[in-house]
Structure 1
Amino acid sequence: MKTLTTRLLLLLLTAISRLSWKNLYRLSDTFRYLIFNVGKYRKAVIVANLRNSFPSYSDDRIRQIASDYYQNFTDIIFETIKMITSPKSDLLERFDLEMDLLNYYYEQKQNLVIMAGHLGNWEMLNLVASAKLSYQIIVVYHELANDTFDDWFRGFRTRFGTEMVPMKNAISKALEPRDKPFLFVLINDQSPVPDKAYWTHFLHQDTGFFRGGELIARRLNAPVLYMGIFKDRIRRGFYRAYFRLITENPRLEPTNAILQSQIEQLEADIMAQPDNWLWSHRRWKHRRPADRRPPNLFPNQQRQTTRSE
């Protein structure tokens, strides 16, 4: 019965994906009202996250950001559904992809590690990048509990050649030999296991981040770029992605410096467009373990750093 229900749901989602963009956003507006105004989906989590992140903002400002986020949340859901059947040309028109750094490193035949957060429609950018770039796109993702839905989701994510890699296989896949340069993309601003996280101050709060991006960058010794996504304030469903160099030589950087640089750039982007981030996630549900003391180095790393100095 569970499999049948899942398959019926997938048929419904495919049917929705064939709607025009105009009708799709009408449906998004309806769901926004039902989910947030009627169902009050995680409204307490969203408002608490916003108040803790922006303690100097007035209640009116917090409510406005929350309201804008509700629209952003449902828009991304329905834009993602639309990508199941959207032609390549349609998606390419909706994303202004900054290419200068990517083209430069591709000419040098260099692999790149891309570090990002949950800004804008990252799912749409995945398809746009794999359709537009010469690089092999490799994206690290969390597998879904429902195998049928996971297969379906992975199917449209790989429509234009992206390779999806489960997080548990990230390092081994990063080290595999390949025929052409690749972009290894990691979104690391979820809530990690506290004992394995990198802890820092982020949006006025003690926050843990996944460390895999820096670990993989050091293993590959490949240039690391930060990727930011801004949404168009005028045209609904249009975005711009940009890239900034963090380092060309990861192994020469101090421990956690790559992560800290990415986190600071992500925080600046959130401050610029606060409704463009994923506020409904319970990102601050964990507390920093007592042995993760400043400067946020693990004990063995701290001893190594002291010896090297």
Structure 2
Amino acid sequence: MSQIPGKIFFSLLNALSGISWKNAFRLSNTLKFLLFDLGRYRKNVIWTNLKNSFPEKTHAELKQIADDFYLHFTDLIVETIKFRTAPPELIREHLQGDISIMDGFYASKTNIIYLMGHRGNWELANLFSSLCFTHECIVVYRPLQNEEADQWFLDLRTRFGAILVPMDQIFKELQKPRARPYVVVLANDQSPMPQTAFWTNFLHQDTGVFRGVETIARRYNLTVLYADFSKISGKRGHYHVTITPISLDPKNERPNGILEKQIRILENDIHCQPANWLWSHRRWKHRRPEVLKPEQLYTPGNALPGDISPGDC
């Protein structure tokens, strides 16, 4: 996208953010037809991911999950456009849940790292955290190659004071002196380089996981929390956040124990609400190396204080 057409396109997106929610979801219905029925956007990737992740489900069940995901995906597009100019009260209205756990951490001056998967609307989650947390909010992101697109998302994500930091600069950022406790927010369910990843079984498949989260938590002794964003049934565009402590003492966790806990919770959450995850992502494009280093594995032992198991739906 060249510079002038790009500026025009994103100016149109900003203008489009003023449409009503009713018309926004009408637009989503149209986008679903254009993207998936006509354009067949990544339908093979989506179907392969679903079939391998849910071998116990029938063809009809998988088709229903896929169809639900298509609408969820286009809803995310129009919701994100709406959130570009949405006032604070609308952000609070569309994402609700008990975040009182943060008050105690702030009072004790505890720094936190928040893990999440690509569930719910993660752009809404970023806005919510910078708007509603007393902690200083640091959001880790991957810069986009297109300058206009990158600036549009930067403007969106920093609307309520969040600090955006590329992943390769996060260690430098956390060394800076700060006036108040901070929370680092990042999604950790994308596909890393296989030679350096932590490898585990996730949704019936060998899966690599970024290890940087655990390195950050251990180096800066950050309390690790996990946030899940479920869709509220019958209220399109509305989500509920559930916060789960993963580790209050990261330096004493088993190697990759933090990541293993996160993966088990995420897996359970996906089973509870299957269409609410980014199935169009090529999550399993890398194969597990034949030989892994010890630091790429997790060795379970007897239960330790703080070990957790996924809950029911």
Shorter-chain-normalised TM-score: which range?
A: over 0.9
Question: Which residue of structure 2 lines up, in the alignment, with residue 203 of structure 1?
Answer: 203
TM-score (norm 1): 0.94
Give yes or no for contact 2:119–2:229 (8 Å, CA) kept in 1: yes
Matched to 1:74, the amino acid is T
Question: Which residue of structure 2 lines up, in the alignment, with residue 194 of structure 1?
Answer: 194
The 5-angstrom pairing of residues 243-262 of structure 1 reads 243-262=243-262
Which stretches in structure 1 are left out of the alignment for 5+ residues? 303-309
In structure 2, what is the Cα distance between the partners aligned to 1:259 and 1:15?
41
Question: Which residue of structure 2 lines up, in the alignment, with residue 297 of structure 1?
Answer: 295
1:152 Cα offset (Å): 1.9
CA displacement, residues 273-305 of structure 1 (integer Å, 9 cap, x when unaligned): 010000000010100112216xx6349x99xxx
In structure 1, what is the Cα distance between the partners aligned to 2:145 and 2:248?
37
SS of corresponding position for 1:276: coil
1:49 Cα offset (Å): 0.2
Give yes or no for contact 2:10–2:148 (8 Å, CA) kept in 1: no
In structure 2, what is the Cα distance between the partners aligned to 1:265 and 1:98?
18
TM-score (norm 2): 0.93
Which deviates the most, 172-181 or 59-68? 172-181
1:70 Cα offset (Å): 0.3
Which deviates the most, 282-291 or 169-178? 169-178
Matched to 1:242, the amino acid is T
Matched to 2:209, the amino acid is F
Aligned positions, number: 299
How big is the alpha-carbon RMSD for the aligned residues of Structure 1 and Structure 2? 1.5
SS of corresponding position for 2:185: strand
Which stretches in structure 2 are left out of the alignment for 5+ residues? 300-313
Query: Which of the pair is proportionally richer in helix?
Result: 1
In structure 2, what is the Cα distance between the partners aligned to 1:38 and 1:64?
18
1:225 and 2:250 are equivalent in the alignment: no
1:125 and 2:121 are equivalent in the alignment: no
Question: Which residue of structure 2 lines up, in the alignment, with residue 69 of structure 1?
Answer: 69
Give yes or no for contact 1:174–1:184 (8 Å, CA) kept in 2: no
Matched to 2:157, the amino acid is R
Give yes or no for contact 1:115–1:187 (8 Å, CA) kept in 2: yes
In structure 2, what is the Cα distance between the partners aligned to 1:160 and 1:178?
18
1:18 and 2:18 are equivalent in the alignment: yes
SS of corresponding position for 2:179: coil
1:132 Cα offset (Å): 1.5
Task: Provide the identity percentage.
Answer: 46
Matched to 1:217, the amino acid is A
1:174 Cα offset (Å): 2.4
In structure 2, what is the Cα distance between the partners aligned to 1:246 and 1:280?
27
Which deviates the most, 51-60 or 81-90? 81-90
In structure 1, what is the Cα distance between the partners aligned to 2:296 and 2:238?
41
Give yes or no for contact 2:6–2:148 (8 Å, CA) kept in 1: yes
Evaluate the alpha carbon distance shift between residue 298 and residue 27 of structure 1 in structure 2; reply closer, same or farther with a 3 A threshold.
Answer: closer
In structure 1, what is the Cα distance between the partners aligned to 2:226 and 2:153?
25
CA displacement, residues 148-191 of structure 1 (integer Å, 9 cap, x when unaligned): 22112101110001111101112221232211111111211111
TM superposition outliers: structure 1 runs of 4+ over 4 Å: none
CA displacement, residues 46-86 of structure 1 (integer Å, 9 cap, x when unaligned): 01100000001000000000000000000011100111111
1:195 Cα offset (Å): 0.9
Which deviates the most, 148-157 or 41-50? 148-157
The 5-angstrom pairing of residues 155-194 of structure 1 reads 155-194=155-194
Question: Which residue of structure 1 lines up, in the alignment, with residue 149 of structure 2?
Answer: 149
